[in-house]
C-alpha cells in the first residue's frame, strides 16, 4: 500500500516534530493510566473498608425513640436462617468511662458474643496482643484499642474499672489489645455481651444486630427482606455509605472531563505536526495529485501518519504508565485521613482494563486529530500547490 509508505517517509523525515508529537501522546497516556490506578485503588479500598470493617447489614429498632431490640435471640435466629446470610451478631453498645489508677478515658463499650462477632467482623485480624476468644472464658474480660490502652497506661493482665451513672462500678481484666489503624483505637472496648448487659442493668436486650452476607452486593435486597419480616430497621453497607459512593460517582464525572482535556492536548500536538507537514510538503502533495493520486489517497496518507504517531505514543505511554504505577506502589504515600475517608496511604491498583481504555481513547483522539490536516491536504489545488512551493 503506497499510502502507508508515503506516510512512513513523511513521519521519519521530520524526526524532531515526530518525537515531540509521540511524547505528547505518551505523556498523556502515562498520566491518565497513573491517575486511573490511583482512582481504582482509592475506590477499591473504600469499598473493601466498608465491606470488611463493618457489618454488611446493621439492624436497629425501627422507632427512633426505641433504644433497644427485645427478644434478640429469637430475632437473630430467624435472621440467621435467611438465604444468603452467613453470620449474625447481636451487640450492646454503651458509653462508659474506664479508670486505671489516676487515668480515666471515655469509651464505646461493646458487649458481644465473641464467636458471633468474630464471624461478622473478623475482629481477630485486628488483635495485636491477647485473644478475642479469651472473653469466652473470662466473665469480666475486656479487649481495648491499643491507643486507648496507651492513654490509660494499662497492659494485658491489668484490671480497669468501668464507671457509668446508675451502674455499679465493675472491674474488668484486660485480655487483649486491638489495632485497626483508625480513630476507633482510642475509644473501642469489647467485653462479653452478658457482662455489659449486667453492667448497664439492661438484661435481655441489645442495641443492634450485625449481619454478614455471602454476597455483599446483595446486601440491599437482603436488608429490605429483613425489614419486611421483622419490622426492624435494616441498613446495608451501601446505604450507610451512600454519600461516599455518590461522591465517588460525581468525582468520576470531573475526572473524565480532565481525561478528555489531556487527550485533547495530546491530539492538538499531533494535529499541529500534521498541519506543519502539510505546509512544508505542499509541493509534494501537489505533484502527487497532478500524477493522479485521489483526494481519498491523500487523506489516507495523513490518517496513516496520525495513526503511526498515536500508536507509538500510546505504546510508550502505556509502558511508562505501568512502570510509574508499579514504582509508586512500592512507596507508602501518606494522605490526610480526614480528606480520604480514613485511608492512611494512597492506594494504587494496576487494573489491565484501565490501560486498554486509556490506549483506546488516545488512539481514537489521535485519529480524529488527523482528520482536519488530512482534509486540508486533500483539498489542495495541484497547480496552486506546485506554484506556491
Give the pLDDT confidence of 135-162 residue by residue, as tens digits: 998 889 999 999 999 999 999 999 999 9
Q: What's the CA dihedral at 260, 264, 267, 272 to 10 degrees?
A: 180
Residue 312 neighbours by CB distance under 10 Å: 17
CA–CA separation, 93 and 98 (whole Å): 15
User: Is 302 within 8 Å of 278 (Cβ atoms)?
Assistant: yes
Confidence of residue 287 (pLDDT cuts 50, 70, 90): confident
Confidence band, pLDDT 50/70/90 cuts, at residue 387:
low
Crossing angle of helices 352-378/15-52, nearest 10°?
A: 150
What pTM, to 2 d.p., does this model score? 0.67
Q: What angle, rounded to 10 degrees, do the helices at 15-52 and 2-13 form?
A: 90
Angle at 17 between CA 13 and CA 19, to 5 degrees: 95
Q: Which of 267, 382, 285, 313 is nearest to 10 (CA)?
A: 285
Instruction: Find where cell 429498632 sits.
Output: 61
Torsion sign, CA atoms 365, 371, 372, 377: positive
- Per-residue pLDDT, averaged over 263-267, amounts to 75
Of 139 and 381, more confident: 139
Pairing label, strands 188-192, 141-145: antiparallel
Comparing 197 with 287, the larger pLDDT belongs to: 197
Would you say residue 260 has pLDDT above 60?
yes
pLDDT at 279: 67
Checking if the pLDDT of 335 tops 70, the result is no
Residue identified by cell 475506590 is 43
Radius of gyration of the chain (CA): 32
190 or 39: whose pLDDT is higher? 190
Look at residue 237 in the predicted model and tell me its pLDDT.
Answer: 85
**Residue 255, phi then psi, degrees to nearest 5:** -65, -40
Q: CA-to-CA distance for 348 and 201, rounded, in angstroms? A: 48
Give residue-wise pLDDT tens across range 205-246.
999 999 999 988 889 999 999 999 988 999 998 888 787 777
**What does the angle CA 294 – CA 295 – CA 296 come to, to the nearest 5 degrees?**
90
pLDDT, average across residues 330-351:
71
pLDDT in tens, 171-182: 999 999 999 877
- Which pLDDT value is given to residue 245? 76
List Cβ neighbours of 373 (8 Å cut-off, separation of 6 or more). Answer: 271, 274, 275, 277, 278, 302
- Bigger pLDDT: 207 vs 362: 207
Q: Which residues contact 248 (CB under 8 A, 6 or more apart)?
A: 43, 46
Domain ranges (residues) in the chain: 2-51+243-388, 68-206
Residues 6+ apart with CB under 8 A from 40: 349, 351, 354
Length of the chain as a residue count: 389
pLDDT band of 383, cuts 50, 70, 90: low
Question: Cell numbers 490501560 label which residue?
Answer: 355
Residue in the structure block whose three cell numbers are 453492667: 199
Q: Which of 181-185, 272-276, 288-292 tops mean pLDDT? A: 181-185
In order of 80, 110, 114, 201, 272, the CA distances from 70 in angstroms are: 17, 17, 20, 14, 73
Amino acid at each position: 500500500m503506497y499510502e502507508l509508505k508515503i506516510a512512513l517517509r513523511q513521519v521519519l523525515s521530520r524526526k524532531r516534530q515526530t518525537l515531540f508529537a509521540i511524547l505528547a501522546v505518551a505523556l498523556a497516556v502515562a498520566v491518565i493510566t497513573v491517575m486511573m490506578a490511583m482512582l481504582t485503588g482509592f475506590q477499591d479500598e473504600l469499598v473493601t473498608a466498608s465491606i470488611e470493617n463493618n457489618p454488611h447489614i446493621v439492624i436497629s429498632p425501627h422507632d427512633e425513640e426505641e433504644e433497644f431490640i427485645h427478644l434478640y435471640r429469637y430475632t437473630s435466629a430467624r435472621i440467621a436462617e435467611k438465604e444468603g446470610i452467613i453470620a449474625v451478631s447481636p451487640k450492646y453498645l454503651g458509653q462508659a468511662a474506664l479508670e486505671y489508677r489516676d487515668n480515666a478515658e471515655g469509651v464505646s463499650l461493646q458487649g458481644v458474643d465473641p464467636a458471633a462477632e468474630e464471624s461478622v467482623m473478623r475482629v481477630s485480624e485486628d488483635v495485636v496482643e491477647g485473644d478475642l476468644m479469651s472473653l469466652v472464658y473470662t466473665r469480666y474480660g475486656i479487649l481495648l484499642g491499643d491507643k486507648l490502652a496507651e492513654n490509660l497506661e494499662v497492659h494485658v493482665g491489668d484490671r480497669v474499672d468501668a464507671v457509668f451513672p446508675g451502674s455499679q462500678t465493675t472491674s474488668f481484666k484486660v485480655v487483649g489489645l486491638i489495632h485497626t489503624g483508625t480513630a476507633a483505637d482510642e475509644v473501642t472496648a469489647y467485653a462479653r455481651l452478658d457482662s455489659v448487659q449486667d453492667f448497664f442493668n439492661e438484661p435481655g436486650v441489645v442495641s443492634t444486630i450485625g449481619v454478614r452476607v455471602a454476597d455483599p452486593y446483595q446486601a440491599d435486597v437482603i436488608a429490605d427482606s429483613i425489614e419486611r419480616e421483622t419490622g426492624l430497621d435494616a441498613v446495608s453497607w451501601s446505604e450507610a455509605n451512600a454519600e461516599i459512593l455518590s461522591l465517588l460517582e460525581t468525582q468520576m464525572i470531573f475526572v473524565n472531563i480532565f481525561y478528555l482535556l489531556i487527550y485533547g492536548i495530546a491530539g492538538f500536538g499531533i494535529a499541529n505536526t500534521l498541519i506543519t507537514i502539510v505546509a512544508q510538503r505542499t509541493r509534494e502533495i501537489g505533484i502527487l495529485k497532478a500524477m493522479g493520486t485521489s483526494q481519498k489517497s491523500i487523506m489516507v496518507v495523513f490518517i496513516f501518519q496520525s495513526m503511526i504517531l498515536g500508536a507509538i505514543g500510546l505504546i510508550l505511554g502505556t509502558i511508562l504508565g505501568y512502570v510509574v504505577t508499579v514504582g509508586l506502589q512500592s512507596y507508602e504515600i501518606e494522605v490526610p485521613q480526614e480528606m480520604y475517608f480514613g485511608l492512611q496511604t494512597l492506594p494504587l491498583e494496576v487494573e489491565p482494563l484501565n490501560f486498554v481504555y486509556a490506549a483506546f481513547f488516545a488512539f481514537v483522539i489521535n485519529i480524529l486529530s488527523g482528520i482536519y490536516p488530512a482534509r486540508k491536504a486533500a483539498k489542495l489545488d495541484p497547480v496552486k500547490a506546485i506554484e506556491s512551493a
